[in-house]
Amino acid sequence: MNTLWIVFVLFCAGYAWIGYVLAFPKKERNEREDDVPALSWETEGPIIEKALEGVIHTRWQGEGPQGTLELVGSLTGIAASEAFDTVRKRLADTQIDVYFLGEEEAQVRLTFQRSHPPQPPSPKLLPSILFFLTLATTAWAGGFHHGITLPLEPSKALLAFQGAWPIWATLLAQDVTRYAIAFLHGIRLGPPYWLPAPLALGTFGSVLPVRHSGVERRGLYDSAAFGVIAGLAVALPCLWFGLKNSSFVSGSPLPFAPGVPLRSSVFFWVFSQLAHGDKVTLEQRAVLDPLAFGGWVGLLVTTLNLLPVSGLNGGWLAHALWGIRALRRISLSTVLFLFLFCLFFWPALLSWVLFLSLLHLGPCRPVQNELASPGWLRTLLGYLLWALAGLVLLPVPPSWKDLWTLHGPYL
């Protein structure tokens, strides 16, 4: 028992450190930014005023943090998106980027900064260590689910890997898709941080740090949404075909009883019904085939990543749909809810929630045109993805109190 607590405390400390590294860049960044000449109204002011001519009437101007310039003005009878495109084109050859950050009562708030300030080299050591730790913890989880203690039974490693590879494939599919779409939209990302977990899940997914958020919110949306869809495209077939070879046993109230309670997830219950029909009942537990186990964990970490917290896929979606100011409020509310969830239902999640709270405290990088919404079709798809996450994460009522315990509801 003492060993488990030591492991738990170490993972809490490790997750807090990783969250700090992601949320607050090294001093090296600040030192490099000091080398970038600050913008000033005396020097760059005439260039900016010429770019705004006939587009925006200046009401107020001042200097912002880290050598930026700020301005509040009113549009001259044209749409905000058209005004942004016009100003951005006029500044294209000046090494000055414009950010349309808000619109209230016909007033727009603009920020100007140097184009693409130098960035410190992306860290390689920590992401590499986390990657291999995640490979190990997911393999351990794949073996643990089938009663194998991998370090003591290396001869059964193949069975453990059969449960782990769908998780690896799900994470890879998400990250590769997000990188590809981010590149197309001009979004600069750092290396992926895979998150190992000392739980039956084996991982909490991955996080991609944003270096530059791109021009429009729909870029963040497309990268996050299609990354989730790519993960689902791997996890769902694995879960479906694995369930065909899984068995179902009578439920047990004991902790760590074999199998996944069908009551633990509305989606899992419906999916099991589709795979096996009336052969399964709500009170049973599914003893998952290795392929089904990997698909189920891949689905869980994909939907956990849809929580609307800064830095996660769900945070990108919330930013894209409602803007950066709304994201801050939604992210804070989500983190507070998760803390209460840990205190009363599942304390083992505390390490991950500490990590998310530090991600929330870190800077949210705005896109250049915060005023352009992604459109109704993307909004609808975003709501559908969140609805799917709710069906996966919420248990079948009225089993909430019985299933949410220290040992976790899903495995």
Domain spans in the chain, listed from the N-terminal domain onward: 2-27+123-403, 37-114
Predicted confidence at residue 57, as pLDDT, reads 83
Predicted confidence at residue 36, as pLDDT, reads 62
Predicted confidence at residue 5, as pLDDT, reads 67
Q: How far apart are CA 335 and CA 346, in angstroms?
A: 14
Q: Which CATH homologous superfamily contains domain 37-114? A: General secretion pathway protein M, EpsM (3.30.1360.100)
Predicted confidence at residue 391, as pLDDT, reads 92
Predicted confidence at residue 29, as pLDDT, reads 44
Predicted confidence at residue 118, as pLDDT, reads 55
Q: Name residue 395's amino acid.
A: P
Q: How far apart are CA 389 and CA 303, in angstroms?
A: 5
Q: pLDDT (tens digit, 9 = 90+) per residue, 284-312?
A: 888 888 899 999 999 999 999 999 998 89
Predicted confidence at residue 257, as pLDDT, reads 53
Rounded average pLDDT per 10-residue block, the chain, 411 residues: 67 77 61 62 86 83 82 82 88 87 75 72 81 90 76 73 91 95 90 84 88 88 95 95 86 58 87 82 84 92 92 92 90 90 75 83 83 88 94 76 48 53
Predicted confidence at residue 27, as pLDDT, reads 47
